[in-house]
Structures are given as structure tokens and as C-alpha cells.
A = this chain, B = another copy of it.
Amino acid sequence: MNTFGKIFRLTSFGESHGRGIGGIIDGCPAGIELDMDLIQKDLARRKPGQSKITTQRKEADQVEFLSGIFEGKTQGTPIAFIIWNKDQHSNDYNNLKDVYRPSHADYTYQQKYGTRDHRGGGRSSARETIARVVAGAIAKQILAVKGITIQAFVSQVGEVKMEKPYTETDLTKTDDNIVRCPDEETAAKMIERIEKAGKNHDTVGGTVSCVARGIPAGWGEPVFNKLHADLGFAMLGINAVKGFEYGSGFAGTKLSGSEHNDVFIHSKDGIRTKTNNSGGIQGGISNGEDIYFNVAFKPIATLLKEQQTVDKDSNEVTINPKGRHDPCVLPRAVPIVESMAALVLVDHFLLSKLNSM
């Protein structure tokens, strides 16, 4: 159950304080020239310590490829890779060995497996998402060949929301600020909001939005594997995610059908829709318009303040974590959202080759 994808499959491994985090990509077509810098660049966008609003923990996060690439090109064989763990302060967690931190996976892992690696969350650590970023960065390069771009951005932090629709912003400006919101004014408020949370030794949640452009009509499967169902599944598998909506989403439930329907029109680019409440997907299949969706992230559970909880013997205990943690996960989640979207889309690109003879 650590494999993602149907054709282009990532199997991920590793614990936050073990030897490293990595994975195997199976099903990657042969003959693709990979730009290693682009992969490393996405890892840098995800890594801790990149700005004043992220954790100050330093991790190099250098990927090392173990197979499947020869003379710079994919071979069609499995691509294995690892990011070695370094600077892991495992001893920071010794006092948490038998304690169940609130809203973490400590208790549930123990119940599931009867055992757990308590060091820094073990397998449940968000550090595991490194593997997804590596695979996603490869998927992005495949999609780029087909003219497809994927851009995620922070659209809300706590109560601070980017009110402007994405169609009226320049998404290429997303990485121009440290919070990764393409609207400069909103970005400034978001940064302020995160700094406030940090000062309070507290955390804050928000939403990441994502837009995929250039996807031709016809990708997606009609029943269970609707394109948005696969995207939602991918997003809900990211640590701290609490919700997913695409196109008009939850707000669209308040519209009447005559307001909501996207009328087909004839255009110079062929058949298009006048509006895009469908978020580029109809009946589970792409219709050629922009695909866009929102992902809800809870405020992360690790607080640098005193909290009540219980230990494995049901004793009440007080914890007061030390260490270096994010007050807000959103800016670092942007490349993760993009990566998971890329994995889903490259899978449906490959599946689309099988629709007809």
C-alpha cells in the first residue's frame, strides 16, 4: 500500500530518522532525457530552512539515483533513488517514546502495527513527501514535452485569502515571494499571519490551489477513476490535508443548474466552454479547459507550547516539544501538490494511449 499510480507507479520507502527516504518509479517510458537540476530545484522548494517563515531545520535533500537512468536517459527500467537522512536529531524524540502527541499518528500507528518507530514520526513524517517530489519532478518533465504545465500556489492562510480569481493573476510570479502566493499584496498579509503564528508558538492552516494547463480532451476514466477522483485521492494522501474540491467545488453547490452549466461554444481552437465551473473535467474526463482545484491543509499539530495528552499506559502527561518546526506548512506544500498532480496526470497520459487501437 505504498505504491501510487497505475501505469507510472511510485513505490515510496523510508522513515524520517532512518537511513533515508526514497522510492522506485516503475513504468516510466524509455528514452526521456532528464534535467537533474529541475528535480533538485523542486526539492529545494520543499526543503526546510528555505526562508524565515519555514522551519530553520537544515536538510540538504540531495537526491541520488540508483538505477534506471543511463547516459542521462531513462531506460524503461525501474528508477530507484534515495535522499539520505542527515542532521536528524533522533534523541530529541526519546522523551516522546511512549507518548501519544495530539493529532499526530503516534497512537494510530501503535494500534495498527503493535509497534512503531517513534523517532520524529517515523514513516508518518511529512519528510516522506520528498520521494513524491522527486517522482513528480520527473512526471512534470514528461508532461512538459506534451506542452502541459502545472502551477500550484498558496491561496489562503488562516483567514487571509487571495480574493482575485487565478485567471486574473500571473501564476509565474508564485515563487517571487516566500509564501508562494502570486498576488503580491495578499502574499504580504499571509507572511505576516504566519509570523504571528510563529511568535505565538502556534501554527496556522490554509489552502493550496493548483492549475494544470494544456491537457487535451479525453484524459480520465469514466467511473471510479474519474480524473478528479484520482486528483482528490492524490491530494488527500498528502500529510495534513483535510479536503479537496475542483472547479466550482463546495461553493458551486449553492448555484442552480442554469447558472452552473458550462455552455459549449465554437471557437477558433475548436469546441470550448464559455465558463469553466467544471474545472476542466466533465464526466470524469478532461475537456481541454484548465483543470483547477483547491486543497485544504489543517494547521500542523506540532506546537512549541505545552499540551496535555496521554502515554501508552493511559497516564496523563504534559508535553512541551522543543526543536525546529514549521508554523505553517503551506509554502513548502506547493511543490508537493504539484508533484502529486503531475503523477496523476502522467498516469492518465499513459492510460490515454490505451483507449483505442
Pairs A-B, 8 closest by C-beta atoms? A105-B283, A243-B245, A203-B257, A108-B285, A233-B233, A229-B236, A111-B217, A13-B80
Contact B15 A77 (CB under 8 A): yes
Residues of A in contact, count (CB < 8 Å): 151
A220 CB, min distance to chain B CBs, angstroms? 7
Stretch at the interface among A35-43, A47-55, A175-183, A246-254: A246-254
The answer to whether A261 has its CB under 8 Å from any CB of chain B is yes
CA–CA, A91 to B154, complex, Å?
49
Q: Which residues of B contact A30 (CB under 8 A)?
A: 112-115, 355-356
Q: Which residues of B contact A254 (CB under 8 A)?
A: 158-159, 205
Contact A70 B117 (CB under 8 A): yes
Copies in the complex: 4
- Known contacts A32-B357, A102-B262; 13 further A-B pairs (Cβ under 8 A): A1-B222, A13-B68, A14-B80, A31-B357, A75-B123, A76-B112, A103-B278, A108-B220, A112-B355, A123-B222, A232-B244, A253-B296, A266-B315
Given contacts A107-B287, A233-B232, A254-B205, contact A11 B31 (CB under 8 A): no
Q: Which residues of B contact A264 (CB under 8 A)?
A: 100, 102, 107, 309-310
Q: Which residues of B contact A229 (CB under 8 A)?
A: 233, 236-237
Q: Which residues of B contact A23 (CB under 8 A)?
A: 24
CA–CA, A126 to B66, complex, Å?
18
Q: Which residues of B contact A88 (CB under 8 A)?
A: none
The answer to whether A124 has its CB under 8 Å from any CB of chain B is yes
A168 CB, min distance to chain B CBs, angstroms? 22
Q: Which residues of B contact A104 (CB under 8 A)?
A: 282-283
